Amino acid sequence: MAKRPPITNRVRELREAHDQMSQSALAKAIGVTRQTVIAIERGKYSPSLESAFRIARVFGVGLEDVFGWEGD
Amino acid sequence: MSFREQSAWAMMAILTVGGLWYFNKVRAASVALGETAPPIMPFVIAYIVLIVIASIVAMSVLGMASPEAANAPADERERQADSRAGDLSGYVLGAGVIIGLLHYPLHMDGNMLYHIGFASLMLSQIAEYGLRIWYYRTGS
């Protein structure tokens, strides 16, 4: 089994806080597939820095409001 | 399931069925001859033609089912998965080549060397699609 990256995120929480934005809508907004958004939300995949910034910009928050380091 | 995962499943199935069909023919010919059959070019050509036709049909059907996803380029996670799968499948090909090269001096069987090389190529392609599916599912 692939090792989980030690990065936490609040993507699902932020998405739901934004009028229940769908995974597909977020995927389209940041230029990835819905499966990639699902993988990010489940902590199975750490997005590239560019996609991380895109996600933060979609929600109008800073990068550290979306992503964190496990244990911090 | 994403379009790319569906494509990978389809290609893995096509290559597996095609490979089994081809080597079943080779095995039958070898049994009939009482030794390793030489490369049977009509079967090799039939295998290649069938694989190409089946791939085109499968990709067309999948593409028509979800045209937007079919036209979209691979995203960053999919590219990473494809790259890792390609790297690892190269080891399968390499292992097959080494087995073939070790087998030849021991048995001096050029026909078997050909079949081992062909099988290694098939197996590495099947492994590549299988690994893609694995990485798509585990997050890459």
Spatial CB neighbours of B84, under 8 Å, sequence gap ≥ 6: B131, B135, B140
pLDDT of residue B105: 94
Inter-chain residue contact A39 with B76, CB threshold 8 Å: no
- CB of A8 within 8 Å of a chain B CB? The answer is no
pLDDT of residue B70: 84
Q: Which of A2, A42, A48 sits opposite B76 (nearest CB)?
A: A48
pLDDT greater than 70 at residue A2: no
Residue spans of chain B under pLDDT 70: 140
Residues of A in contact with B5 (CB under 8 A): 35
CATH for A7-59 is 1.10.260.40
Measure B74 CA to nearest chain A CA, in Å: 8
DSSP state of B38: P
pLDDT of residue B140: 65
φ/ψ (deg, to 5) at B19: -65, -45
Residue holding tokens 């609040």? A10
The 10s digit of each residue's pLDDT in A16-52 is 999 999 999 999 999 999 999 999 999 989 999 999 9
Residue holding tokens 């023919």? B25
| b/e B38-52 (16+ beta carbons within 10 angstroms → b) | eeeeebeeebeeebe
User: Quick one: A11 exposed, middle or buried, by C-beta within 10 A (0-12, 13-18, 19+)?
Assistant: buried
Are the CB atoms for B95 and B124 separated by under 8 Å?
A: no
ipTM, 2 dp: 0.83
Structure tokens at A32: 């990835």
